[in-house]
A and B are shown apart, each in its own frame.
Chain A
Amino acid sequence: MSIAEESKNGVESSASPKVGSRRRAATAQSMAAQQRDISVSEFFVKNRHMLGFDNPRKALLTTVKEAVDNSLDACEEAHILPEMWVRIEPTGAQKFRVGVQDNGPGILKKQIPLIFGKLLYGSKFHRLRQSRGQQGIGISAAGMYGVQTTGKPVKILSKVGQKSPIHFYEIQIDTKKNKPEILNGKGEGIDIPIGEKGREYIEKNGIEWVDMDHGTRVTIELEARYQRGKGSVDEYLQQTAIANPHVTIHYTDPEGNSTTYARATDRMPAEPREIKPHPYGVELGQLAIMLKDTTEPTLSSFLCNCFSRVSPGIARQICEAAKLSTRSRTTRIGQREADSLYQAIQATKISNPSTDCICPIGEDLILKGLRQVVPGEFYTAATRPPAVYRGNPFQIEVGLAYGGEAATQNITHDLLSDLLEETDLRTVRQFLINTFNGLGAETADRIVHNARLGSRQSPSRLKPKEVEALLHALTSVSLSEGQTMEVLRYANRVPLQFQHGACAITQTILGTNWKSYGLSQSRGSLPRGPITVMVHIASVWVPFTSQSKEAVASYPEIQKELRLALQAAGRRLGVFLRRRNRVRQEGERRNLFLRYLGEVATAVSNINQTDRKQLYGQLVDVAKKRTSDADLRLDDRGRRVEDDPEDEEFGENVIIVRPEDALQSLLKNAPAPPTASPGEKVRGSKKSDSTSRKSEGTEEEFDSDE
Chain B
Amino acid sequence: MAKKKKTVAATLPTAPKVAVVLTDKDKKTMSSIMTLANGVNEAAGRKREPSVDIPSRTLSNVKYNASKRILEMGNSTNRRQLFNLTQAKSYMQTLLVANGCKGLIDAGKTTSIRGLYYAVKHTIEGTKEETFNEQVECDPIIEDVEVLLSSLREELHLFAKKKGDMVGQLVLQDSGSTIDCSQMGSGGYGIPSIVEPEIIKFVRCKAKFVLHVEKDTVWQRFNEDRFWEKHNCILTHGGGQPTRGVRRLLYRLNNELKLPVYCVLDNDPWGYYIYSVIKQGSINLAFESKRMAVPEAKYIGLRSIDYDRCNLSESVIIRLNENDRKRAKQIKQYPWFEKKKAWQKEIDKMLENDFKLEVEALIQKGISYVTEEYVPLRLQEQDWLD
Residues of A within 8 A of B (CB): 589, 592-593, 595-600, 602-604, 606-608, 610, 615, 618-619, 621-623, 625-626
- B38→A600 contact, CB < 8 A: no
Main secondary structure of the interface of B (DSSP, over half): helix
Q: Give the most central of A592, A595, A599: most B CB within 10 Å.
A: A599
Would A603 and B9 be within 8 Å (CB), given that A595-B127, A622-B83, A626-B83 are in contact? yes
A621–B43 alpha-carbon span in the complex (Å) = 12
Q: Could you say which residues of chain A place their CB within 8 Å of the CB of B50?
A: 600, 619, 622
Q: Is A599 within 8 A of B82, CB to CB?
A: no
Cross-interface CB contact of B85 among A589, A597, A622, cutoff 8 Å = A589
Bound CA–CA A598/B125 (angstroms): 8
Encoded as 1 (CB less than 8 Å from any A CB) or 0, chain B from 33 to 65 comes to 110111011011101111000000000000000
A residues within 8 A CB of B48?
622
Partner of A599 from B49, B83, B124 at Cβ < 8 Å: B124
Residues of A with C-beta under 8 A to B36: 607
Q: Does B222 contact A (CB under 8 A)?
A: no
A615-B88 Cα distance, complex, nearest whole Å: 17
Task: Please state if B47 and A621 are interface contacts (CB–CB under 8 Å).
Answer: yes
Q: For residue A595, which residues in chain B have a CB less than 8 angstroms away from its CB?
A: 124, 126-127, 129
| Complex-state Cα separation, A599 to B120, whole angstroms | 11
Contact B10 A592 (CB under 8 A): no
A-side contacts of B40, CB under 8 Å: 600, 604, 615
Bound: A272/B85 CA distance, A: 58
| Contact of A607 with B33 at beta-carbon distance under 8 Å, contacts A600-B91, A602-B10 already known | yes
Separation of A602 and B131 alpha carbons in the complex (Å) = 13
Q: Are B82 and A600 in contact (CB under 8 A)?
A: yes
Residues of A with C-beta under 8 A to B237? none
Q: Tell me, in angstroms, the Cα distance from A603 to B11 when the chains sit together.
A: 10
Contact B47 A604 (CB under 8 A): no
Query: Which B residues from 372 to 386 make CB contacts under 8 A with A?
Result: none
**Contact indicator A596/B41 (Cβ below 8 Å):** no
Please give the distance in Å from B35's CB to the nearest CB on chain A. Answer: 9
Give chain A's interface secondary structure class. helix
Residue numbers of B with Cβ under 8 A of A are 9-10, 33-34, 36-38, 40-41, 43-45, 47-50, 82-83, 85, 88-89, 91-92, 95-96, 98-99, 102, 124-127, 129, 131
Q: Are A607 and B98 in contact (CB under 8 A)?
A: yes
Instruction: Give Cα A623–Cα B85 distance, bound, in whole angstroms.
Output: 12
Which listed residue, B47, B83, B98, B124, touches A603 by the CB 8 Å rule? Answer: B98
Whether A604 and B41, one on each chain, are in contact in the complex, defined by CB atoms closer than 8 angstroms, is yes
| CB atoms of A596 and B88 under 8 A apart | yes
Contact across chains for A606 and B9 when beta carbons are under 8 A apart: yes
- A619 adjacent to B44 (CB under 8 Å): yes
A608 to chain B: closest residue by CB: B37
Residues of the A chain whose Cβ atoms lie less than 8 Å from the Cβ of B9: 599, 602-603, 606
Selected A-B contacts with CB under 8 Å, 26 pairs: A592-B88, A593-B83, A596-B89, A596-B92, A596-B124, A599-B124, A599-B125, A599-B131, A600-B40, A600-B82, A600-B92, A603-B37, A603-B92, A603-B95, A604-B41, A604-B95, A606-B99, A607-B37, A607-B99, A608-B37, A615-B41, A618-B44, A618-B47, A619-B44, A622-B43, A622-B49
Shortest Cβ distance from A617 into B: residue: B44
B102's partner among A598, A600, A607, A615 (CB-CB below 8 A) is A607
**In the complex the two chains form, is A596's CB within 8 Å of B82's CB?**
yes
User: With A600-B91, A602-B9, A608-B41 given, can you name 16 additional A-B contacts, CB distance below 8 Å?
Assistant: A593-B82, A593-B88, A595-B127, A596-B82, A596-B124, A598-B126, A599-B9, A599-B95, A599-B96, A600-B40, A602-B10, A607-B37, A619-B50, A621-B47, A623-B83, A625-B47
Which partner residue on chain A sits nearest B88 by CB separation?
Answer: A596
B91 x A596 contact (CB < 8 A): yes
Among residues of B, the one whose C-beta sits closest to the C-beta of A627 is: B83
B99→A622 contact, CB < 8 A: no
The interface residues of chain B lying within 8 Å CB-to-CB of A606 are 9-10, 99, 102
Q: How many angstroms from the CA of A593 to the CA of B84 in the assembled complex?
A: 8
Residue of chain A at shortest CB distance from B49: A622
Max count, chain B CB within 10 A of own CB: residue among A592, A596, A623, A626: A596
Give B48 Cβ to nearest chain A Cβ, in Å: 7
- Chain A residues within an 8 Å CB radius of B124: 595-596, 598-599
Report how many A-B pairs have Cβ atoms within 8 Å: 86
Is there contact, CB below 8 Å, between A600 and B95?
yes
- Chain B residue, CB-CB nearest to A611: B41
Q: How far is the CA of A619 from the CA of B40 in the complex (A)?
A: 9
Question: B49 to A626, Cβ gap below 8 A?
Answer: yes
Which residues of the partner chain B approach A593 to less than 8 Å between Cβ atoms?
A: 82-83, 88
Bound form: Cα–Cα A614–B353 in Å:
67
A428–B118 alpha-carbon span in the complex (Å): 54
Complex Cα spacing A160 to B85, Å: 73
Residues of B within 8 A of A625 (CB): 47
B95: chain A residues at CB < 8 Å are: 599-600, 603-604, 607
Q: Cβ of A618: which chain B residues have Cβ within 8 Å of it?
A: 44-45, 47
Taking CB atoms, residues of chain A closer than 8 Å to B85 are: 589, 592
Whether A603 pairs with B34 at a CB distance below 8 angstroms is: no
Nearest CB of chain A from residue B157's CB, rounded to whole Å:
15
Contact of A619 among B38, B82, B98, B129 (CB under 8 A): B82
- B34, B40, B45, B85: residue with the most chain A Cβ atoms closer than 10 Å: B40
Closest 9 CB pairs of A and B: A618-B44, A607-B37, A603-B99, A596-B92, A603-B95, A608-B37, A604-B37, A604-B40, A626-B83
Bound complex: CA of A262 vs CA of B13, how far in Å?
A: 72
CA distance A602 to B95 in the complex (A): 9
* A contact residues around B98 at 8 Å (CB): 603, 607
User: Counting chain B CB atoms within 10 Å of each CB, which of A589, A597, A600, A608 scores highest?
Assistant: A600
Return A695 CB to nearest CB of chain B, in Å.
42
CB neighbours (8 Å) of A603 from chain B are 9, 37, 92, 95-96, 98-99
Q: Which residue of chain B has its CB nearest to the CB of A621?
A: B47
| List of B residues within 8 angstroms of A592 by Cβ | 85, 88
Chain B min CB distance to A622 (Å): 6
Cβ contact of A608, chosen from B34, B43, B89, cutoff 8 A: B34
Docked CA distance A602–B10 (Å): 7
CB distance from A102 to the nearest CB of B (A): 61
- Contacts A596-B92, A602-B9, A623-B83 known; A615 to B99 CB distance under 8 Å? no
| Residues in A neighbouring B91, C-beta threshold 8 A | 596, 600
How far apart are the CA atoms of A602 and B33 in the complex, in Å?
A: 14
**Could you tell me if A622 and B47 are in contact, using CB atoms closer than 8 angstroms?**
yes
Q: Which residue of B lies closest to A597 (CB)?
A: B82
- Is A610's CB under 8 angstroms from B41's CB? yes
Closest beta carbon of chain A to B50's beta carbon, Å: 8
Query: Nearest Cβ in chain B — how far from A630, in angstroms?
Result: 13
Nearest CB on B from A170, distance (A): 75
- Chain B residues near A622 (CB-CB < 8 A): 43-44, 47-50, 83
Does the CB pair B44–A615 fall under 8 Å?
A: yes
CA distance A597 to B88 in the complex (A): 9
Set of chain B residues within 8 Å of A589, measured between Cβ atoms: 85
Complex Cα gap A625–B10 (Å): 29
Bound together, the chains give a CA A625 to CA B96 distance in angstroms of 25
The complex places the Cα of A604 from the Cα of B42 at a distance, in Å, of 11
Are A608 and B38 touching (Cβ within 8 A)?
Answer: yes
**CB-CB < 8 A to A610: which residues of B?**
37, 41
CA of A592 to CA of B85 in the docked complex: distance in angstroms?
8
Q: How far does the alpha carbon of A606 sit from the alpha carbon of B11 in the complex, in Å?
A: 9
Contact B83 A607, beta carbon cutoff 8 Å:
no
* Cα A623 to Cα B88 with chains together (Å): 11
A595 to B124, CA, bound (A): 7
Distance from A323 Cβ to chain B, minimum over Cβ atoms (Å)? 79
Residues of chain A within 8 A (CB-CB) of B92 are 596, 599-600, 603
Q: What's the minimum C-beta distance from A328 to chain B, rounded to whole angstroms?
A: 82
Q: For B102, what are the chain A residues with a Cβ–Cβ distance below 8 Å?
A: 606-607
The interface residues of chain B lying within 8 Å CB-to-CB of A602 are: 9-10
A600–B91 Cα gap in the complex (Å)?
A: 8
State A619–B9 Cα separation when bound (angstroms).
19
Q: How far is the CA of A56 from the CA of B50 in the complex (A)?
A: 73
Instruction: Give bound CA distance, A261 to B158, whole Å.
Output: 76
